[in-house]
């Protein structure tokens, strides 16, 4: 691996674990999170798969100096990072698992280099968070404007208020606290930019172009990506399948890790 490869590994704090010769599963975290939020599903996956984890630039232990406002203004820059990671690690036949906004990052990467991917697992995906005519994203335009204004004015306060809502499972407050702490570890300037890239994005038109096998995984109740969104994504991606986990909230890898790991492993382990 040359200097560029080491730079990519450092930039995205790449971790590789599991079965060295197994099929590749790449886990990509969502907004305000880092690779640590996958820790409860990794042990099961690592028994059969080569598991690749990383942090988006600005999250976790990524290289903050690599962040560039123009590159990461939308989700394309993050998709470019995914493809660079695959290139540097010489990964092929990758099953890409994207949580929340990372699901659309995976869609964009698969549109650019479909030959790189064996499949996509879109975990609680949303191509557009804003309601539009018959499309229900779960938020009005005013809701999103208010959310972003609140995030701008008091990021730590916003994190403490929003994380439990995103997580759901109020009877398990420790889960909301973990997400709050994860949010608070994210650089506020980068978080504001990533929030705009996330909540103002509209990738509905990209879905019909996906040509790799795709599994949509959602939860029975989710304040951020309601069930209508999962059904919409499944309907728009040709040949895709859907699994609804018996779980609530927007982070089933924490709230229902066994069911989440099983859904990923079942899909990733199928012969193509």
3-class DSSP state for residue 128? strand
Distances (CA, A) of 140 to 147, 200, 256: 11, 11, 29
Distance CA 267, CA 119 (A): 8
Of 100, 103, 126, 240, catalytic? 100
Tokens of 181: 């702490």
Q: What letter would DSSP give residue 97?
A: E
Which candidate in 34, 182, 250, 255 is catalytic?
250
Q: Are 41 and 257 in contact (CB under 8 A)?
A: yes
100 catalytic, yes or no? yes
Tokens 């730079």 correspond to 7
Instruction: Identify whether 201 is a catalytic site residue.
Output: no
Catalytic residue of the set 81, 222, 240, 255: 222
Q: Which residues contact 7 (CB under 8 A, 6 or more apart)?
A: none
Angle at 148 between CA 144 and CA 151, to 5 degrees: 140
Secondary structure of residue 43 in the 3-state scheme: helix
Closest CA to 125 of 233, 254, 211, 263: 233
Q: How far apart are CA 228 and CA 268, in angstroms?
A: 25
CA atoms within 13 A on the CB side of 73: 3
Closest CA to 193 of 155, 160, 241: 155
Annotation says 222 is catalytic? yes
Question: How far apart, in whole angstroms, are the C-alpha atoms of residue 33 and residue 238?
Answer: 30
Catalytic site residues?
A: 100, 222, 250
């Amino acid at each position: 691996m040359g200097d560029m490869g080491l730079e990519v590994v450092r930039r995205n704090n790449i971790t590789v674990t599991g079965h060295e010769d197994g099929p590749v599963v790449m886990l990509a975290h969502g907004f305000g999170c880092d690779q640590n939020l996958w820790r409860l599903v990794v042990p099961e996956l690592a028994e059969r798969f080569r598991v690749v984890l990383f942090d988006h630039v600005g999250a976790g232990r990524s290289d903050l100096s690599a962040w560039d406002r123009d590159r990461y203004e939308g989700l394309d820059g993050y998709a470019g990072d995914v493809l660079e990671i695959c290139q540097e690690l010489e990964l092929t036949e990758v099953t890409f698992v994207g949580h929340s906004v990372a699901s659309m990052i995976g869609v964009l990467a698969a549109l650019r280099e479909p030959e790189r991917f064996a499949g996509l697992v879109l975990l609680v995906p949303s191509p557009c968070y804003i309601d539009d005519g018959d499309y229900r994203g779960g938020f009005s335009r005013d809701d999103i404007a208010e959310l972003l204004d609140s995030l701008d004015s008091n990021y730590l306060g916003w994190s403490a208020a929003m994380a439990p809502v995103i997580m759901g499972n109020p009877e398990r407050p420790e889960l909301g606290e973990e997400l709050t702490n994860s949010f608070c570890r994210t650089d506020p300037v980068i978080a504001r930019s990533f929030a705009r890239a996330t909540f103002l994005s509209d990738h509905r038109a990209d879905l019909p172009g996906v040509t790799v096998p795709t599994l949509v995984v959602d939860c029975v109740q989710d304040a951020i990506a309601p069930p209508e969104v999962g059904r919409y994504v499944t309907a728009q991606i040709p040949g895709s399948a859907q699994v609804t986990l018996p779980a609530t909230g927007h982070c089933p890898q924490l709230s229902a890790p066994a069911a989440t790991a099983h859904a990923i492993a079942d899909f990733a382990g199928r012969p193509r």
